[in-house]
Chains A and B, each alone.
Chain A
Amino acid sequence: MGVHVLSTAQFKTNTLVLNIQAPLTEARVTKTALLPHLLVRGTERTPTQTALTARMEELYGAFLHADTFKLGERHILQVRMEVPNGKYLPGRPQLLKEAIAFMWEVLTRPALEGGTFRPRVVELEKEALRRRVEGLFDHKPLYARIQTISRMHRQEPFRLLATGRIEDLVGLEPVNLTDYHAELLAEAPMDLYVVGDVEGEAVAEELRQVFSLPTRPKGALQVRDPRQTPLGRHVVEERQDVGQCQVVLGLRGPVLRGDPLHPAMELLNGLLGGYAHSKFFTQIREKEGMAYSVQSTYNPHMGTMIFQAGVDPVQVDVVADLMRAQLQAVAEGAVSEEELHQTKAMLALSVRETADVANSLAMAAFSAHLAGQSYDPEAFLTRMRAVGAEELVALAAEVQEDTCYLMRDLETPSGTPNAIQITSPFGA
């Protein structure tokens, strides 16, 4: 297990982040998604929520959370704890030591019955997973993004939601989950981060002693290069009884995290729709008044971009074209000195401010670790400062639209009559 201690003086709490890597496959995704929820339901020593939470409260409101997310095509199971630093409390209690022991217990000693996760608890968590997935329908901007990714990556594992799949719940028994838990403990790459005002060596030593697990491969699970996937040309639309419509474009680009052009790609994203001075914000929101929420995001693990806006039903096609026009404008050279300067300043701020939030710092360090690099924000910024407008222009020409997803209302006529119709929720 990798142990990483990031000793910083400014936080009044100490944060522990345990990241377990699992392959993102149909066979595993739902088991990986269920497992963290089972772990926090109770340990051998404190098998009920009430008892487990009471223990956290005794540690001055220690926070425990376990969930999963994707970093590219790696499914990460994360257990996170945060405890106050005892030096700010009466009696200066040694809370970190307790937190470390507790996290070990949550990871390795869940409450069992007859050697497996408790059947009643497994049933409850399966139902909760079902509701969680169904509930994704309710947040329209998120749902629209999920549909876009689902279509765009239909031939790739990335289409799988970190939340798991309802269809996998049938026939999933406590013994399957217990075996899977044991498998992860025996083999999965694991990294544990500690962030806070701690004594580096002493804490690292404590962690190595408490977290005595079998040796396993260090570093990152191997994943394929997502740039190998051929470009799709999908236009899909879905009608829902909503007041505001969603426009989402999914695009593929040539740059992944850690590539020499990574800083340039982040700048391109910022320039297009990452900040309040960006082209999307100034043109589509401020100039045209057509959107309140309009942005672009870049996924450095997949090399993809998402453009998204919430708009009036009659503006759906107009705004889709406006977003395309902004990208095209950059590909044709529309990058001013002022815009470049502003974007560099904002990107520098967001890179630097990562150090101000313990979870962000741990995530950035882990992300670098997965790419086989050490976390070095200043080196990134040095390369960023050297990027010229011409590099952004060249990159923009290589970013290609793969999927267009449009959520329309029930009445307004479609400007894309040949689009594939999605007629049932989560159908893609």
Chain B
Amino acid sequence: MSVQGTWTEYPLLGERAFRAVLPDGLQVHLVPKQGFTKSHAILTTAFGSVEAAFELEGEGVRRVPPGVAHFLEHKLFEEPWGDAFSRFAEHGAQANAFTGHSRTSYLFSTSDELEANLELLLDFVQHPYFTEAGVAKEMGIIEQEIRMYDDMPQWLGYRHLLESLYHAHPVRLDIAGTVETIQEIDQEVLHACHRAFYHPSNMALAMVGDFDAEAMLAKVAELQAKRQVPPIPQVQRSLPDEPSAVACARLETHLAVARTTLMVGWKELVPPQPEELLRRELTMALAVDLLFGRSSPLHQELMDAGLIDEALAYDYDNGPGFSHLTLAAESDDPDLVLERIERTLAEVKRRGLDPVAFDRLRRKQLGDFLGELNSPENIGAQLTDLALRGDDYFRVPEIIHALTQEGVEEQIARLFLPEQRAISIVRPKSPAPV
């Protein structure tokens, strides 16, 4: 029985996608793109660091040690015949993986042997193989990864911000866990998580490159049909109750650094519903550009006062049960920067946005999106991430066109509430080193 795919055309973007859902539930998204020397493939599962507990097939509720998703990502590369990286290299492919709050992805790029590498990708991700020695040794590696991030002011500052925003939700924990919590990880919990969350029905595959999409779909279907895929597991995920208020208004810490890093976060009172998520994300991006971007009066003011040397960085992050916006800056006077940010917010809430700026920044958003289409890696990651929640990455321009100034103003009024704000500052240890 052959799998039927559907073509969707995006003529204005000059893109097209060939899609199907396999009998085992795996979503497949194929984007033919000519002129690139390499093809890119990414396999993503809807499982990440924000798990607290789950029940698999009625076997009893199981607590998830923080850092399991990330540990599993590392360990899947180990196979009985060796390391998957080595075999990718034999077939001329560069492979990688990353774990996020609610997604884990495995990917490769190659200019050669695409089908052999595809088979390897589907195989090693879906085949869990762990040894006691491998698990023990991985703890040492991940410990160094954790320590590397803990010395970085942006990472430490962000982790502390999340601790301040959230009382109990697992998003407040480092994606890699801690040196202590990863000691609790064993083969048994790795296998249970794999069974629960690495079923093809919980995953999406995207491939971007110069290949025949219809032939590639047939190949993927053939490879999956050869696997012994169990029935879709019955999984109940549970998260702790999280109050809508923030946990702590301000957290300061010190590191052996020369500059001071400021992070400000606003926790949304009510995380957005899945069907409004993409629109919310694009609205937020526009809001931040208008309020704090390089063409904003605030940016000019902060630069002219020597309070910042580059534009404020932002991130709008959301997932099951959580949603927040973060702003970050390096500044010698973080409290003054905060005061100016709040003044800008108060003014915009009172007077509304400048319609000329709104139109201009909407243009910028459209142009930025076009730039993103130059990267097969970016297309693959966004396609799978959004597809796993029912969204289509290529519809972004359409949604940008439909955004309204009122909608952006409403979101600003809704999100930027003083009582929903938390601050995290990382300062130099004293005496200041430089």
Contact = CB atoms under 8 A, between A and B. Distances in A.
Interface of A: 8-13, 48-50, 53-54, 56-63, 82-85, 88-90, 124, 127-128, 131-132, 134-135, 137-141, 240-244, 275-277, 281-282, 285-293, 310-312, 338, 341-343, 345-346, 348-350, 352-353, 355-358, 425-426
Contacts of B88: 276
Question: Of A89, A277, A292, A348, which is in contact with the most chain B CB atoms at under 10 Å from its CB?
Answer: A292
B14 A289 contact: no
A350 B109 CA distance: 10
A403 B93 CA distance: 34
A275 B144 CA distance: 19
B300 A289 contact: no
Contacts of A353: 37-38, 109, 111
Contacts of B294: 49, 53
Nearest to B150: A243
Contacts of B376: 356
A276 B89 contact: yes
B370 A349 contact: no
B61 interface: no
Contact of A349 (B35, B90, B112, B304): B112
B36 to A, nearest CB: 5
Contact of A138 (B139, B153, B363): B153
B259 A61 contact: no
A244 B364 contact: no
Interface of B: 12-14, 33-38, 83, 85-86, 88-95, 109-112, 137-145, 147-148, 150-153, 255-259, 293-297, 299-300, 303-304, 306, 309, 330, 332, 357, 360-361, 363-368, 370-371, 373-376, 429, 433-434
Given A137-B433, A285-B141, 19 more contacts: A13-B371, A54-B357, A54-B360, A60-B370, A85-B370, A88-B13, A88-B14, A89-B370, A132-B309, A134-B258, A138-B153, A140-B152, A289-B141, A290-B140, A292-B141, A292-B145, A349-B109, A352-B37, A425-B434
A291 B256 contact: no
Contacts of B152: 138-140
A61 B89 contact: no
Given A84-B371, A244-B148, A289-B141, A425 B258 contact: yes
B364 A61 contact: yes
A32 B434 CA distance: 23
8 contacts: A53-B294, A88-B13, A138-B153, A288-B137, A342-B90, A345-B91, A346-B94, A356-B37
Nearest to A281: B85
Contacts of A341: 90
Contacts of A277: 83, 85-86, 89
Contacts, number: 211
B374 A124 contact: no
Contacts of A10: 33-36, 374
A132 B95 CA distance: 34
A93 to B, nearest CB: 10
Contacts of A312: 143-144, 147
Contacts of A60: 363-364, 366-367, 370
Residue in A53, A84, A138 with the greatest tally of chain B CB atoms within 10 Å: A138
A348 B113 CA distance: 13
Contacts of B37: 352-353, 355-356
Nearest to A291: B144
B293 to A, nearest CB: 8
A342 B259 CA distance: 42
